[in-house]
Structures are given as structure tokens and as C-alpha cells.
């Protein structure tokens, strides 16, 4: 994934790009949104290994980049009681990086997770190794990518789930290793465990009467079906169940319908299918191993061939652009006119049909999709009418019977649109961002999120900042069914910090000191004070200091002002020297009275490559230094040297003229 620090940004972006090119696409069940694992909220989910693969980039709100679902597994669940969701992803190897993101896919094709940022509920893409998830220890609802060295909090705040909504959880394994993890849902208040008892909802014979299509009241696991059909019986002496298989189980972990195969066709009449414990030791099971009760039954009738009715319209969700018709008998997909001419729709607003098709398995579909040119955004009432299409027929069911022209009604609700305005109130210590929602169409709930962890539930919101830079604002609105999200980024650019540089830390008589402003912020005015009664309002002034009768430390201050009338001050000390003439005293008195206690080259501020040496009267070297501030104290190896004359030599190069000097003389040590 992309790590949000500048030195690594390009490298890590390349890492993802290269991974997506060299890793195979994800084909293992559970590694795509369409084949997500069904989750039971009561039992940990143990994933022992993670195959290498990459699907697509995923939009992540507020992070500025899309992140790839690297080596993913997907999980699906429904919220049965509103509340907060807490969970942990505990890697088998804690030196590996796992990331995650949750999507609300209610009323949406699950493939939209790769394109629709409004589906995102929460996530954590930080590079911190080890356990991650959502808990009370979390700080933000969504963490952007980071470097492992930043040690960002690997837990996000617990997202709020809405009862009746369907969710997907992506677990992405950024570390390229096959080690898996444990996924556990513990600590939140939302309920994602379906406690409804499994039972047989309906049954219908196929056209030849030799198999029965059974519809269940909820999703049950494909692996709980006994392939020999021993989970079922019709209790007829001359008819036995010989096989059973779940619909679409080759592409999923669960099914809500299955086909039961019989030993011989059933004649016209009424029958009952019973559930029993199969050869695998159980009946059918749901995600949490709740079993279909032994003896649970469903009646069905074998009828003579007759036209199949227009059963119902699946209630549309928010802003539908597809209307779904349901038929108890399967419809032949090749009987559906692709141009949608088998249907007309009339109602509150004009509707244009652009096409039609089925959710086809083996050429048959119980659902027919009518595709619209635009979503239905307003509340209204509509009727769908079935007619003969340009293919010369209405719809034809799996038994070869034509659906009679007929109509059914459906209603839509208003879609909501998130929008807001913002106003920046600049201050010198704090800035305020005031937001006003301009959302429309019956919004009943507002959820604000600001960079820095600020949140709000009122129609309008405000965040106060003591730091500066870009801040992202997000508003999600809902009317209980439809939701929408709007985001904006504001830049708090009124940071002000005074700073300046000096050309040299000391000034010799007649030298010019150059002051260079290095303040940060939108500076509108500069006010300099040089500690000697001189002032300037130039940005980069140049000053010649007049020396007094001694070295002097002048405190120079710079006060900067921005256009919001805020101020900041910086100070530095400049040493103004009485003399920069390099000389060596003719005598010194190392008696500890702090007056002329040392022998050294005076005022050697402009000397480079300096070397100062002292010799006794026998020519022995007794002191040497290349640092003019290191002085001879009149001792040798800690022993005081006698009174008398000492020879010194001084070599150096003048830092401005580059002229080289060699000086020699004597100084008297006086005790």
C-alpha cells in the first residue's frame, strides 16, 4: 500500500503498482467481494493461509490515494441490531502488516467497492505491524497509510452499523507472506448474528417432475448439504431422493436455495418434502451451525403445465436504476428481449428502459432485471407492465410456458444528496471551521467527520484547530434508507513563525552584518530592532554596527505580522567586537585574578588555519593549539612554569583576504 510519508511515497507507490502487475488475479473463493465468506458474530474466523493475489485499487476517503486489496479476503454480514462494531484481526506472525476496510453495500452491487467511495464506513491502512481492528482504543474512523516506523495506532474507532444493512469487510495482507490470522467480533453493541431458525420456505417441482427446487428462509452453508440427498425425504414408497446440490455453490460458500433430485418423476398431485439428518450426520446448517430442524417440511404440488404468473417486484432500494422482477418459476434467459421491449414502466416521473436481462444460471433466472437510463431519485409510484417484445413473445418460463401480459406496482423514495458550505474563522492561536449543511430531500441524520477526530451529529458543525495545514471535512447524510457523502478540504494557511539568519555571529569594526528573513507564513510586515537604537522594516536589512569601548552582545529581534493582524517574535544575539586586530600580549600574569591570566592570540576572529605555539628559553615546545580560544595558562603538564620570557609563533590565513601570516615574538610570564 502507499505509505504517507514523502521519502517513501514514490517507492511504495511503485511497490503496489508492481505487485498488481506480477501477482495473479484473485480466484480463490473468499478473495473477491462476490465470493465473500459469510461471517458468524459468535465464533472467531480462523484463516490459516493467505494466497498471493491482487484485485483492484480501492478508494479510501481522506487519504488522497487509492490502496490495492493486496492478498485479500472478504467477509459479508448483515446487521440485525444497530450499534457499534468491534473486532480484531490477530496475525499469526505479529511482524506482518494487515489492513482492513468496511463497506455498506446495502442496495448496491458489491463490485462498487472498487469505484464508489461513498460505500466506505471505516478502515485502517496504517503500516503498524501486529493486531489491528476497531475498538474503544481507536482514535479515528479511518487511518491512512503510514510507515511502520511511525507506529500509528492500528485500531480505528468502532463504526456504527444500521439494522437491516448489509456489509463487507476487506482484510488486506500488505506483507507478502502466506501467514494467516484470526478474525473475532468482540466488544461492540451491534448484533451481526442471525438468530432466526433455519427452515424450508417453499418448494416447487421442475417441469419434468423429477427434481424439486427448494427455497430456504435464510442463507445456509453449502458444505452442510449431503450430496446423496439424504438430508431430505418425500416418504413415498416408490420415490427416493437420490441427490441434492445448492444453487450457485460452485461460486459461493452459502446458498438460499437448492435442488433435490428424485429417483423418478412425480405425477400430478400434492406432496410434502421433509428434512432429516443426512449421511453427513446433520441437516442443513447456517453460518453459526444452527441446524434445520429434523422433520421441518414444506408442501408442493405438481400441476399440469400452465402459464407462469408475474409474481412480484423486489422492493427497490435507494435511487434504483435497475428494477427486479421475481418469478417462482425460472425464466428462460433467451426469452428476455435484451432491449427491454418486454416491459413498459409508467408513473410519477418519465422512465426510459434501456435493456433487460436475467441473473442466469444454466440459462434460467428467477429474477429479471429491467435497466433504466437514469436512477429514480424522487419518491413516487410506478407500474411495470409485461408485454410482447420485439422478439415476438413476453417471457417464457423453464417449462416452455409464456408469461401472460400483466402489471405490478412499486414505489420509490427520495434520494438524498450531501452538500455543505464552510467558513474559516482565522485566529492567532486557534482557527475555527464552521460548516452548514445544505443537503436536501428529507435528510434526517447528519454525521460530520473532521481531520483531528472532531465529529458531530447536528445539522451544522464546527471544529477548532490549534495546528495548521490542510483539513478534510466529511458529511454523510441519510433519510433512514438513502445516504450520501460529501467531502471538502480546507487549508489553514495562517501559520506564522518568526525566524531569521545572520551572516556571521560576530561583527568587526566597519563590517556589515546581513540579516536574512526565514520566517514561515504569509508575512505582511517586518519590524527589526538591532539592540543599539537602530530599527528597520525591510525584509532583509544590512547593518553596520558602531563598536563601543569593549565587546558588546547586541540582542537583535524580528517581529513579523500577517494579514490577520497576528504577530510573532524571534531573537538572536550578535557580538559586536571592539577590535579584530590580531595580536599577542607582551606579558601575562597567570595568578587566577581573572585579569590577563592567559597567553593567546587576541581577536583572531578572522583567522583560519591558525596555529599558535609557545617555546621556553631552551627552545622546547611547551604549548600548541589550532584553536585561538584555547589559551596557555603558564603550566606544562600541570606544573607552573617559572617567570621569564617565552617565545611564541603564530601562523594563520586571513579569512577575507586569504593572505597568509607568520608572526613571532616574546611574552613575559610574570608571577
Task: Sketch the domain layout of the chain as residue ranges.
Answer: 6-184, 200-302, 312-412, 420-492, 500-576, 583-669
User: Buried (b) or exposed (e) across 362-394, using 16+ Cβ within 10 A?
Assistant: eebbbebbbebeeebbeeeebebebeebebeeb
Which pLDDT value is given to residue 221?
Answer: 95
More confident residue, 664 or 578: 664
- Please state which CATH number belongs to domain 312-412: 2.60.40.1220
- The closest alpha carbon to 429, from 456, 468, 390, belongs to 468
The maximal CA–CA distance of the chain, rounded, in angstroms, is 137
- Structure confidence by residue, pLDDT tens digits, 333-389: 999 999 999 999 999 999 999 999 999 988 999 999 999 999 999 999 999 999 999
Which pLDDT value is given to residue 341?
Answer: 97
- Structure confidence by residue, pLDDT tens digits, 450-473: 998 888 999 999 999 999 999 999
pTM above 0.85, yes or no: no
- Please state which CATH number belongs to domain 420-492: 2.60.40.10
List C-alpha distances in Å: 81 to 161, 193, 215, 291.
8, 9, 25, 22
- What grid cell was written down for 204? 416447487
Which pLDDT value is given to residue 361?
Answer: 87
* Third-level CATH fold of 6-184: Jelly Rolls (2.60.120)
- Structure confidence by residue, pLDDT tens digits, 500-522: 999 888 888 888 899 999 999 99
Average pLDDT over residues 463-486: 91
- Structure confidence by residue, pLDDT tens digits, 13-26: 443 444 445 678 89
Res. 407: pLDDT tops 50? yes
* Third-level CATH fold of 500-576: Immunoglobulin-like (2.60.40)
* Third-level CATH fold of 583-669: Immunoglobulin-like (2.60.40)
Which pLDDT value is given to residue 270?
Answer: 93
**Structure letter (DSSP) for residue 243:** E
- Say yes or no: do domains 6-184 and 200-302 share a fold: no
- Please state which CATH number belongs to domain 200-302: 2.60.40.1220
Question: Do 472 and 62 contact (CB within 8 A), yes or no?
Answer: yes
- Structure confidence by residue, pLDDT tens digits, 45-63: 899 999 999 999 999 988 8
Question: Do 286 and 194 contact (CB within 8 A), yes or no?
Answer: yes
- Structure confidence by residue, pLDDT tens digits, 425-437: 999 999 999 999 9
Question: Do 611 and 628 contact (CB within 8 A), yes or no?
Answer: no
Average pLDDT over residues 107-116: 94
Res. 480: pLDDT tops 90? no
Which pLDDT value is given to residue 206?
Answer: 86
Which pLDDT value is given to residue 5?
Answer: 35
**Structure letter (DSSP) for residue 23:** S
Give 451's contacts (C-beta < 8 A, 6+ positions apart).
62, 470, 471, 472, 473
Res. 12: pLDDT tops 60? no
Amino acid at each position: 500500500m502507499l505509505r504517507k510519508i514523502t521519502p517513501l511515497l514514490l517507492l511504495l507507490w511503485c511497490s503496489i503498482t508492481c505487485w498488481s502487475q506480477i501477482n495473479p488475479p484473485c480466484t480463490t473463493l473468499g478473495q473477491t467481494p462476490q465470493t465473500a465468506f459469510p461471517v458468524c458474530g459468535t465464533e472467531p474466523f480462523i484463516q490459516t493461509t493467505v494466497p498471493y493475489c491482487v484485485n483492484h485499487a480501492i478508494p479510501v476517503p481522506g487519504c488522497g490515494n487509492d490502496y490495492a486489496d493486496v492478498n485479500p479476503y472478504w467477509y459479508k454480514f448483515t446487521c440485525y441490531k444497530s450499534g457499534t462494531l468491534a473486532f480484531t484481526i490477530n496475525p499469526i506472525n505479529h511482524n506482518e502488516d494487515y489492513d482492513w476496510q468496511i463497506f455498506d453495500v446495502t442496495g448496491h452491487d458489491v463490485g462498487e467497492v472498487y469505484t464508489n467511495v461513498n460505500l466506505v464506513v471505516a478502515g485502517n491502512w496504517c503500516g503498524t505491524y501486529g493486531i489491528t481492528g476497531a475498538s474503544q482504543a481507536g482514535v479515528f474512523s479511518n487511518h491512512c497509510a503510514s510507515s511502520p516506523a511511525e507506529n500509528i495506532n492500528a485500531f480505528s474507532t468502532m463504526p456504527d452499523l444500521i439494522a437491516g444493512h448489509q456489509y463487507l469487510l476487506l482484510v488486506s495482507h500488505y506483507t507478502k507472506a502466506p501467514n494467516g490470522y484470526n478474525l473475532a467480533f468482540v466488544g461492540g453493541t451491534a448484533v451481526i448474528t442471525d438468530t432466526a431458525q433455519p427452515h424450508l420456505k417453499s418448494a416447487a417441482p421442475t417441469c419434468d417432475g423429477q427434481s424439486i427446487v427448494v427455497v430456504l428462509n435464510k442463507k445456509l452453508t453449502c458444505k452442510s448439504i449431503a450430496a446423496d440427498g439424504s438430508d431430505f425425504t418425500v416418504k413415498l414408497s416408490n420415490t427416493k431422493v437420490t441427490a441434492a446440490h445448492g444453487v450457485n455453490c460452485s461460486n459461493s460458500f452459502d446458498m438460499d436455495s437448492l435442488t433435490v433430485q428424485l429417483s423418478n418423476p412425480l405425477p400430478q398431485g400434492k406432496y410434502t418434502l421433509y428434512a432429516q439428518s443426512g449421511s453427513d450426520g446433520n441437516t442443513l446448517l447456517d453460518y453459526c451451525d444452527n441446524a434445520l430442524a429434523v422433520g421441518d417440511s414444506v408442501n408442493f404440488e405438481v400441476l399440469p403445465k400452465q402459464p407462469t404468473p408475474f409474481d412480484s417486484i423486489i422492493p427497490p432500494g435507494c435511487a434504483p436504476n435497475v428494477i427486479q422482477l421475481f418469478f417462482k418459476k425460472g425464466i428462460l434467459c433467451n426469452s428476455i428481449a435484451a432491449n427491454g421491449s418486454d416491459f413498459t414502466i409508467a408513473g410519477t416521473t418519465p422512465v426510459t428502459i434501456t435493456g433487460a436481462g436475467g441473473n442466469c444460471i444454466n440459462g434460467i433466472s428467477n429474477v429479471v432485471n429491467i435497466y433504466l437510463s437514469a436512477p429514480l431519485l424522487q419518491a413516487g409510484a410506478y407500474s411495470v407492465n409485461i408485454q410482447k417484445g420485439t422478439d415476438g413473445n413476453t417471457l417464457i418460463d423453464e417449462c416452455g410456458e409464456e408469461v401472460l401480459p400483466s402489471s405490478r406496482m412499486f414505489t420509490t423514495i427520495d434520494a438524498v444528496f450531501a452538500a455543505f458550505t464552510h467558513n474559516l474563522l482565522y485566529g492567532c492561536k486557534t482557527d475555527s471551521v464552521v460548516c452548514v449543511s445544505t443537503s436536501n430531500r428529507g435528510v434526517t441524520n447528519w454525521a460530520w467527520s473532521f481531520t483531528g477526530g472532531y465529529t458531530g451529529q447536528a445539522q451544522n458543525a464546527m471544529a477548532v484547530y490549534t495546528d495548521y495545514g490542510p483539513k478534510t471535512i466529511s458529511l454523510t447524510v441519510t433519510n433512514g434508507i438513502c445516504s450520501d457523502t460529501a467531502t471538502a478540504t480546507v487549508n489553514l494557511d495562517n501559520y506564522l513563525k518568526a525566524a531569521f539568519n545572520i551572516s556571521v555571529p560576530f561583527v568587526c569594526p566597519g563590517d556589515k552584518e546581513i540579516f536574512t528573513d526565514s520566517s514561515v507564513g504569509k508575512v505582511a510586515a517586518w519590524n527589526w530592532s538591532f539592540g543599539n537604537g537602530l530599527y528597520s522594516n525591510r525584509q532583509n536589512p544590512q547593518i553596520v554596527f558602531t563598536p563601543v569601548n569593549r565587546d558588546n552582545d547586541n540582542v537583535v529581534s524580528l517581529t513579523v505580522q500577517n494579514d490577520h493582524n497576528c504577530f510573532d517574535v524571534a531573537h538572536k544575539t550578535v557580538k559586536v567586537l571592539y577590535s579584530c586586530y590580531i595580536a599577542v600580549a607582551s606579558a601575562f600574569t597567570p595568578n587566577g585574578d581573572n585579569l590577563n591570566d592567559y597567553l593567546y592570540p587576541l581577536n583572531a576572529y578572522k583567522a583560519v588555519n591558525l596555529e599558535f605555539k609557545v617555546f621556553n628559553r631552551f627552545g622546547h615546545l611547551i604549548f600548541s593549539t589550532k584553536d585561538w580560544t584555547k589559551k596557555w595558562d603558564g603550566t606544562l603538564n600541570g606544573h607552573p612554569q617559572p617567570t621569564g620570557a617565552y617565545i611564541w609563533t603564530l601562523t594563520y590565513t586571513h579569512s577575507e583576504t586569504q593572505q597568509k601570516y607568520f608572526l613571532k615574538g616574546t611574552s613575559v610570564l610574570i608571577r
